[in-house]
Amino acid sequence: MPAWLRKSLVVMISIVTFGMVSPAQVNGFLTTTAERTERSTSAETSFAESLDVPLDEEDERDTFIHRAMKEAELQSFQKFGTKIGPVIEDEFRQTILPNIEKAIEMVAMQYPEEKLNSLRITEMPGGGESEKIFHIIGESGKDIIRFHVRRDQPPKEGFWFNFHYHTYHDNFQNHYELGKIFWAKNTPPKWKS
């Protein structure tokens, strides 16, 4: 039966029965058994195929990166506390978080998919004057990468928050900058306050 005729019959039957018979029911009556069997078989095949397809390595990396980014954001705002967080929130999300994501992607690329699930993120950012935001720890329990923020005060420029990370590759000696956010001329409150 042509599609235009089927659609017309569905509309007419729905109108004549004052909506007592839904268009889906009418369409079911008008569909041949062969068409229903064909649809059912193709749906079962595509569902079965989706179950047989394992997650590929890229999906595992994306899952790890997504999980790590959620935790990075959570840990960062815990560190900022209620006094610093609202002031720098927008700039942090626009400038610093994308750079943290790039660094996390770099870490994810160094590990095969079966080891990504063994990587953990520390749960408590440092407070007071501490630089620690969070660290990513390997299966051996040793730090792989450390994300920090330090308060800088260049002469006559006020206070800046310097976001950076360190890696185990150079024994955590070099600072790899993620970005800076200006605070103000006055001293910022302690972290987590």
Residue that the structure tokens 């990504």 belong to: 116
Measured distance CA(60)–CA(72) in Å, rounded: 18
Asked whether the predicted pLDDT for residue 191 surpasses 60, the reply is: yes
> Which residue would you say has higher pLDDT here, 117 or 30?
117
Residue that the structure tokens 């079962």 belong to: 44
Cα 154 to chain centroid, rounded: 35
- Pair of tokens at residue 143: 């730090």
Asked whether the predicted pLDDT for residue 57 surpasses 60, the reply is: no
Asked whether the predicted pLDDT for residue 16 surpasses 70, the reply is: no
* 163-175 residue pLDDT tens: 999 999 999 999 9
Measured distance CA(53)–CA(50) in Å, rounded: 5
Q: What is the mean pLDDT of the chain?
A: 81
What is the structure's pLDDT at 139?
86
- For the chain, the domains span 3-52, 58-184
Asked whether the predicted pLDDT for residue 26 surpasses 80, the reply is: no
- List, in order, residues 6 or more apart from 158 with CB less than 8 Å away: 182, 183, 184, 185, 186
Rounded to a whole number of angstroms, the distance between the first and last alpha carbons of the chain is 72
Place 42 in a pLDDT band, splitting at 50, 70 and 90.
Answer: very low
Asked whether the predicted pLDDT for residue 50 surpasses 60, the reply is: no
